[in-house]
Amino acid sequence: MKKILYVTTVSRTINAFLIPHIEMLIENKYEVNCACYIDREIDKRLIKKSVKIYNIPFSRNPLSLDNLKAFNELIKIQEENQYDMIHVHTPIASIYGRLLKLKFKNLKTIYTAHGYHFFKNGPKMGWILYYPIEKLMAKLTDVTININKEDFEITKKKLKPKKAYLINGVGLNINEYSLLSEGERNKKRRVLGLKDDDFVVIMIAELNGNKNQMQLVRAIELLKNKYQNIKCLIVGEGKKLQFLKKEVKKRSLEKNIVFLGFRKDVNELINASDIGVLFSYREGLPRNLMEIMANGKRIVATNIRGNRDIVCNKFIGALVEVNDYEATAKAIEKFYLTSANKNKILKEVESYSILNILTELSSIYDSLQEGGNYNEKMSSYITNE
C-alpha cells in the first residue's frame, strides 16, 4: 500500500477543499495522513476514515520561528512513516514540505499552486520576493499542479519542475447547487426584503482590499438613478466591513447595497440573485464564480488571472478592467437588459465538476508510480530528465 502525506499550513484548507481528494486516495488503496496546524476542528469525515492528523505549529507569518519547529516535526513524521509521496498546498506548507526532499531523496513531491504571488501586471515585489523562491523550490518538485492557464505557462517556461499539469481547480460538487423553483426563489427574496422585480447582484468574497468590493459600490453609484430596482447582496466578513458601510452611506446607497455577513445559505442566495460579480486584483481560480455558474447565473468579473479562465465566453459573462467603474456599470446594465442562456452556463460548469477533477488527480498520482502512465488528454509539461 502506497503512503501519502497531505501538508497544508492550516486545517481549514483541508476541510474546505481536500476531503474528496483524500477519500478518493483511500478508495484507491492509499494510506493517507495529514499534517497542518489545526485552526479548525478536523472534519468528521476524515476521523471516520481513520486518517491520522499531525498537529504541527505552522504559522501563516513567513518570518515566524514556529515554521522551523513545524519543519522539524515534518522530518520526524517522515522518518517515522516513510511516506512514498507528499502533497503540499498553500505557500508556507509548500516550501517546508518540499524541503524534505533534501533529506529524503526518494520522496515524491507534489505541489498544488493555488495562485502564484507573482503574475502578469502584478506588483514587482511579488516577482522580487516570491518568484526566486518558487524557482528554487521547483528543483525539489516532482509534480506541480496549476489551476489557471497563466500560472501554468509560468511553470512551463520559467520554473520548470519535472512535471506540471493544468486542472480546473480543486473540484466543485455541482449536485450541491440545486436550482430553486420560481416560488421558492421569490420566497427567499421576500425574506431578504427584495421585490420580485428587483435586479439582484451578488458578490461572495471576504471583505478585504484584494477582493475590491469598492468597484461594485462605485458602479452601483453610477446606475442607481437610472435603475432604482438594482439591489446588491454583499456576502462575507472581513476587515473592510466598516469602511465599506461608511462608503455606502456616504454615497446614499443604503437602499441598494446590503451586507449579509457570513452565510451558510449561499446556494439559496445565488438562486435569489440575477447575476454574480467578483472584482479582485488577484485570484487563483475562484470557486465562488463556479458556484454562481452552477446556478446558471452570468458573471461580471475583473480581467485577471483565474477570472479569465472561468469567464471565457460571452454566455458566461463579461470581463472588465480593475477599477474601471464605468465599464463595470455598463456590463451590469447590459445583463439587466438581456436574458441569460442558463443551459449553456450549466453546461460550461461541468468542466469544474469534482468527478472530473478526481479522475485527473488519480491519473497524476498514477504517473508517479513505477511504470505508471499519465492521461495524455490533460494539459501537461514533462521534462526529458
Give strand ranges (E) for 40-162. Answer: 52-55, 85-89, 108-113, 143-146
Q: Which residue has the cell 455606502?
A: 248
DSSP 8-state assignment for residue 260 = E
Asked whether the domain spanning 174-351 has the same topology as the one spanning 3-171+353-382, the reply is yes
Please give the CATH superfamily to which domain 174-351 belongs.
Answer: Glycogen Phosphorylase B; (3.40.50.2000)
Q: How far is CA 225 from CA 85, 278, 326, 328, in A?
A: 59, 23, 14, 16
Global confidence as pTM: 0.91
Per-residue pLDDT of 224-233, as tens digits, reads: 999 999 999 9
Q: Which residue has the cell 518540499?
A: 98
Residue 44 confidence class, pLDDT cut points 50, 70, 90: very high
Segments making up each domain of the chain, as ranges: 3-171+353-382, 174-351
DSSP 8-state assignment for residue 159 = I
The H-assigned helical ranges of 301-351 are 307-310, 325-337, 342-348
The H or E element that residue 245 is part of is helix 241-250
Please answer whether residues 232 and 300 qualify as being in contact, where contact means their C-beta atoms are separated by less than 8 angstroms: no
Residue 384 confidence class, pLDDT cut points 50, 70, 90: very low
Please give the CATH superfamily to which domain 3-171+353-382 belongs.
Answer: Glycogen Phosphorylase B; (3.40.50.2000)
The pairing of beta strand 379-382 with beta strand 163-166: antiparallel
Per-residue pLDDT of 100-118, as tens digits, reads: 999 999 999 999 999 999 9
DSSP string, 17-43: IIHHHHHHHHHTT-EEEEEEE-SSPPP
